[in-house]
Amino acid sequence: AERRGVKVEVRLETQDPPPILGTRAEIREALTNLIFNAVDALPMGGIIVVRTRAEGKDAVLEVADNGVGMSAEVRSRMFEPFFTTKGLSGNGLGLSMVYGTVTRHRGTIEVETTERVGTVVRMRFPSVDPSEATDAVPEQHGAPYGARILVVDDEIELLEVMRDALAQDGHEVVTARCGSEGIQLFRGGGFDAVLTDLGMPDVSGWEVARVVRQDGGPRPVLGLVTGWGATISEEVQIAHGIDFVISKPFEVGVLSSKVNEALKSRSATPPRSASPSASPPT
């Protein structure tokens, strides 16, 4: 803001919130991202208010500004990876990472915004008994931690987003930048889950899925992360042994919950069958 020659006043209105189960560094980073986002919403300067308080059984952290506000379209997409209103100066990852952090901590995000009036972004976390409070992320959806996951995608930035989100859930993540590399890594063995893009220049995600389902060992969880998700029917998913489909663009919290729920389900029940001879849709 100083480099732009404008003045931004930051006010603190803090009350002691109740203890929560979480990672201090992640929550601090999420709060910092919200403050930076509020600064960007004040091109002519203005006021940012950071508040903390107890509200019922929740701990509440919120950042308010009297900036430009958001349109309904921007509001609906603000947590999507790579969505940005900052042009080349922004990568669109800050708010999606905030969303992922909050959902990993079993929290919720509330947004109140009016164009030319301002915005309030509120992070709400469930409190715990002080004796239970610790610097650790709570287990998501009862899913097993420490799974080994292969992620295949030719979009490097998105690959890094998925890697970081799954790693923060406690998983070991191996990445491949194309389908052929993904197949080579998978054949090395030892994966509990495979996530693959569908449209890649060398080998398609359907071929990656075919190799995974025809492997002789225990079949890992298999997910598609694709811009064509809306066109893939449940029948096609079953035919190809696909456990779930995530449509791009997606929210980081959706990725985390889908993967962890599938891992939990796979550990509790035998995998559903898939036809080895099934052909991908055209």
Query: Domain boundary at 97, 132, 167, which?
Result: 132
Q: Is 243 exposed, middle or buried (0-12, 13-18, 19+ CB in 10 A)?
A: buried
In the chain, count H helices and then E strands.
Answer: 8, 10
Query: What CATH number should be reported for the domain holding residue 38?
Result: 3.30.565.10
- Does some domain include residue 273? no
Which of these, 130, 81, 123, 129, lies nearest to 106 by C-alpha position?
A: 123
Asked whether the predicted pLDDT for residue 13 surpasses 80, the reply is yes
Pair 119, 218 in one domain: no
The answer to whether residue 189 is domain-embedded is yes
pLDDT digits 0-9 by tens, 196-235:
999 998 999 999 999 999 887 788 999 999 988 888 888 9
Residue at 138 is within a domain: no
- What's the structural domain count of the chain? 2
**Rounded to an integer, what distance in angstroms lies between the CA atom of residue 121 and that of residue 150?**
34
Each residue of 141-197: pLDDT tens digit?
444 558 999 999 998 888 888 888 888 788 999 999 999 999 999 999 889 999 999
Co-location of 228 and 152 in the same domain = yes
Considering the domain architecture, whether residues 162 and 77 belong to the same structural domain is answered as no
Is cis: bond before 249, omega within 30 of 0?
yes
Report which of residues 105 and 149 the model is more confident about: 149
Question: Which of 83, 105, 132 is the C-terminal boundary of a domain?
Answer: 132
pLDDT digits over 77-94, tens only? 888 766 766 643 444 456
Counting Cβ atoms within 10 Å, is residue 194 exposed (0-12), middle (13-18) or buried (19+)? buried
Q: Which of 89, 106, 132 is the last residue of a domain?
A: 132
Tens-place pLDDT, residues 18-67: 999 888 878 888 899 899 999 999 999 999 999 999 999 999 999 999 99
- pLDDT at residue number 133: 61
**Domain identity same for 96 and 204:** no
The answer to whether 224 touches 209, Cβ cutoff 8 Å, is yes
Percent of the chain with pLDDT over 90: 48
Domain span at residue 120? 8-132
Considering the domain architecture, whether residues 153 and 121 belong to the same structural domain is answered as no
Q: In this structure, are residues 207 and 186 in contact, taking their beta carbons and an 8 Å threshold? A: no
Same domain, 166 and 259: yes
Average pLDDT (130-135) is 65
Residues 220 and 160 both lie in one domain: yes
| 212 and 109 inside one domain | no
Q: Give the CATH number of the domain where residue 239 resides.
A: 3.40.50.2300
Mean per-residue pLDDT of the chain: 84
Measured CA to CA, the distance from residue 245 to residue 234 in angstroms comes to 9
**Does any domain span residue 242?**
yes
Mean pLDDT for the stretch of residues 239-254: 88
Range with lowest mean pLDDT among 12-21, 101-110, 121-130, 261-270: 261-270
